[in-house]
Amino acid sequence: MLFDEIEKAHEDVWGILLQIMDDGRLTDSAGRVVSFRNTIIVMTSNVGAKSISDGRPRMGFTPDGGDEAQLMRARINEELRRTFKPEFLNRIDETIVFRRLSRAEIRSIAERMLLTVAERFKALGMTLSVPDQVVDFLAERGYDEKYGARPLRRAIRSMIEDKAAELMLTDSLGRGDTVQARIDGNELILTKHGV
């Protein structure tokens, strides 16, 4: 089961989760029992996200190479203790802290997303050609340390998918065409290969 942004849940939900984590089952008011013995409960939270993105020096990171990950984890654990009751935290087996995506990771994600887009082009009978400088351009436009890869998805949608759809609606692109993505100044352009 996945509980996204668990810190926003009502305290009654936390109480139900405590019962599930303690007993491995849940009983409703009619006496029906649901077993959670073979269930993995995943909870996401943004607790501590602000302290991660608010600037490293205030978090105690040292410019001379102190252990940033350990300091970040300690800071987040401190915020978790302020947000959740001890009896709730004591029943959680593992806490995983994710760090921000790097520019290289965003570029890798851009490549994977573009492969998916290229597969959709292929299903429409077209070929999509995206050179490395276009991947770099999209990764740069889609990079936001605060929001992760979501802006990247929007950049690919608006700069490639939406533009291709407009060209298809005007019959400028169709089955059998090779679509070339290229950078012209500060803009991404889609053209038929060789045009």
Q: What's the token pair of residue 170?
A: 């005007």
**What pLDDT was estimated at residue 54?**
61
- Predicted local confidence at residue 62, as pLDDT: 47
Exposed / middle / buried, residue 61 (Cβ in 10 Å: 0-12, 13-18, 19+): middle
- Pick out the chain residues at pLDDT < 50: 56-65, 195
Dihedral, 102, 104, 106, 109 alpha carbons, nearest 10: -140
Mean pLDDT (the chain, rounded): 87
**How many CB atoms lie under 10 A from the CB of residue 110?**
26
| Strand (E) or helix (H) holding 25 | strand 25-27
Residue 157's pLDDT is 96
Contact status, residue 181 vs residue 190, Cβ threshold 8 Å: yes
Q: Give pLDDT, residue 193.
A: 75
Structure confidence at residue 15 (pLDDT)? 87
Q: What is the pLDDT of residue 144?
A: 82
Per-residue pLDDT at 150: 86
| List of domains in the chain | 2-89 (3.40.50.300), 103-192 (1.10.8.60)
Per-residue pLDDT, 74: 86
Q: Give pLDDT, residue 148.
A: 78
pTM (2 d.p.): 0.69
